[in-house]
Amino acid sequence: MPKDNYENLKEKGKEISTLSSIATLLEWDQETKMPEGGAPFRAEQIETLSSIVHAAKTSDSFKKALEKLIDLKTGEILDDTLDDRKKGALRAFRRTFNQETKLPNHFVKKMAKANSEGIHSWQKARKESRFELFLPHLETIINFHREKADLLRFKDHPYDALIDLYEPEMNVKKLDLLFSELKPFLSKLTQKCKEKKEKKHSFLSASYPIEDQMKFCHFILEKMGVDPKRTRLDTSAHPFCLGFHPTDVRFTTHTSLTSFYTNISAIMHEGGHTLYELGLPAEDYGTPLAEACSMGIHESQSRWWECFIGQSASFCSFIFPYLKQAFPSQLRNVSEEDFYQAINHVSPSFIRILSDEVSYILHIILRYEIEKEFIAGTLKGKDLPKVWNEKMEETLGIIPETDAMGCLQDVHWSCGLIGYFPTYALGNLYAGALFETFQQTYPDWEKTIARGDLSQSLTFLREKIHHFGREHSPQTLIENATGKPLTSAPYISYLKTKY
């Protein structure tokens, strides 16, 4: 019996997804296991695979399969017998196809190689804190992305075209409005928290054996519901998560003897990403229904677990006795309240991933402002360290002493993720909206978490977010989940209540 049109499209999509997963596996290996000398050849491998994947996504055979089901120009669904989920998949398929076909294959191939080379140069520059080593690669990557924005086309601002790749239907106009509300509020709250009497939390920087840290991290992952048979945890310079398939998700953390809670935070953050990837419907693999809705929605899952749950008083109540058992000498004279205050301490940080919950989005706004200027052509790569430091002083009141603590701290620009940073801020806003609904849905959530039962969180996120994949846009997904359109109000209310 011949396959129907949707199943035929799904089969072609599965071939593309499988090829993409192989390219992703190479990227995971580059960040975790690859020897340093392998970088030049890895760039060639990724260049070749990226070209193959792009060719498959834009092929005539894929186009013909898609055209049987949806009008590529108007978006009209041509098969009314399909259910709403499959119609949602078709709209997402069309969106991706129309984006990919605007980018010539030779351009995709060259940019993939530049990004791979950029990662290697960034790693060296960051290690030596020498921005000049990364500068030529940064300038190349910026130029590629300015050209990319032109190829993708935009209405108001060239940066819109890049944001839209990571967060559909988001643009500079909407972000400027959200950030104009958040920036003064967060700056004022950060300063207000700084003025409070600082409690001692030197115990956080005591020496915690790495092996014992990792045992505790695995204990937390088990409580979160991360399946060890479908995941792998490693270490890297910058924690990340990559999903190849709902049965194979890789994630990393960064370890240090003297910052053990940073490790726990990273574990819960990347564990949140991992749970999302594991929660996507494997039966729909090869279609957008088995892909994350957006990077902002992805980030909402990681910040949910890291902050809204992981830094809550109820979670501290649960884990603190276990921490005392695991690290008796380091926590001998520390109370549960001391611990809770310490992990929620607010003080401006040079490093984004180490920043507190209140000032975190200020780090993102800084990067957003810089990226806009890069793409608009009003900021040159060579001026980045100076502008970065000026914005750090203006926004957070601190100036980095080295480039490694400043403009070289993030991997994103080196691997071509320009337009990605705003999704970190949106993730917090999405999480805030979801958390408000969660609290109303489960009024006993604090008591449940204090007992070590985190199942309510996972059930809520599975039902509201995970199983939908890319059936809806991010804004529609959140509105369906919460009953309200996205605003900054729930997140601001959450911070006001807590801090």
pLDDT at 198: 67
Q: Tens digit of pLDDT for each residue in 458-498? A: 999 999 999 999 999 999 999 999 999 999 999 999 999 99
pLDDT at 196: 73
Q: Provide the 3-class DSSP secondary structure of residue 77.
A: strand
Are residues 198 and 216 in contact, defined by beta-carbon separation less than 8 angstroms?
no
Q: Tens digit of pLDDT for each residue in 308-357? A: 999 999 999 999 999 999 999 999 999 999 999 999 999 999 999 889 99
- Please calculate the CA angle 28-419-23 and round it to the nearest 5 degrees: 25
Sheet holding 231-235, edge to edge: 231-235, 248-253, 241-245
Question: What percentage of the chain carries pLDDT values higher than 70?
Answer: 99
Q: Tens digit of pLDDT for each residue in 216-259? A: 999 999 999 999 999 999 998 889 999 999 999 999 999 999 98
Residue 482 shares a structural domain with residue 400: yes
What mean pLDDT do residues 8-12 have? 97
Is 164 a domain residue?
no
Is 270 considered catalytic here? yes
Is 99 a domain residue?
yes
Q: Supply 312's token pair.
A: 């809550």
- As to burial, measured by CB atoms within 10 angstroms (0-12 exposed, 13-18 middle, 19+ buried), residue 248 is middle
pLDDT at 325: 96
What mean pLDDT do residues 68-81 have? 96
Cα–Cα distance between 344 and 398 in angstroms, integer? 20
pLDDT at 443 > cutoff 50: yes
Residue 224 shares a structural domain with residue 121: no
Per-residue pLDDT band at 197 (split at 50, 70, 90): low
Residue 177 shares a structural domain with residue 114: no
Is 162 a domain residue?
no
Q: Tens digit of pLDDT for each residue in 17-65? A: 999 999 999 999 998 999 989 989 998 999 999 999 999 999 999 999 9
Per-residue pLDDT band at 189 (split at 50, 70, 90): very high
Residue 120 shares a structural domain with residue 210: no
pLDDT at 1 > cutoff 50: no
pTM for the model stands at 0.94
Residue 412 shares a structural domain with residue 338: yes
Residue 33 shares a structural domain with residue 178: no
From 270, 357, 371, 471, active-site residue: 270
pLDDT at 360: 96
Query: Residue 195: which CATH number?
Result: 1.10.1370.30
Residue 90 shares a structural domain with residue 12: yes
Between residues 2 and 451, the one the model is more confident about: 451
Residue 181 shares a structural domain with residue 149: no
Pairing verdict, β 241-245 and 248-253: antiparallel
Residue 210 shares a structural domain with residue 300: yes
Number of folded domains in the chain?
2
Residue 83 shares a structural domain with residue 142: yes
> For residue 10, what are the domain limits?
5-157
What mean pLDDT do residues 445-462 have? 98
Q: Tens digit of pLDDT for each residue in 361-385? A: 999 999 999 999 999 999 999 999 9
Residue 112 shares a structural domain with residue 237: no
The whole-chain average pLDDT of the chain stands at 95
Question: CB-based contacts of 254: which residues, under 8 Å, 6+ apart?
Answer: 235, 236, 237, 238, 239, 262, 263, 266
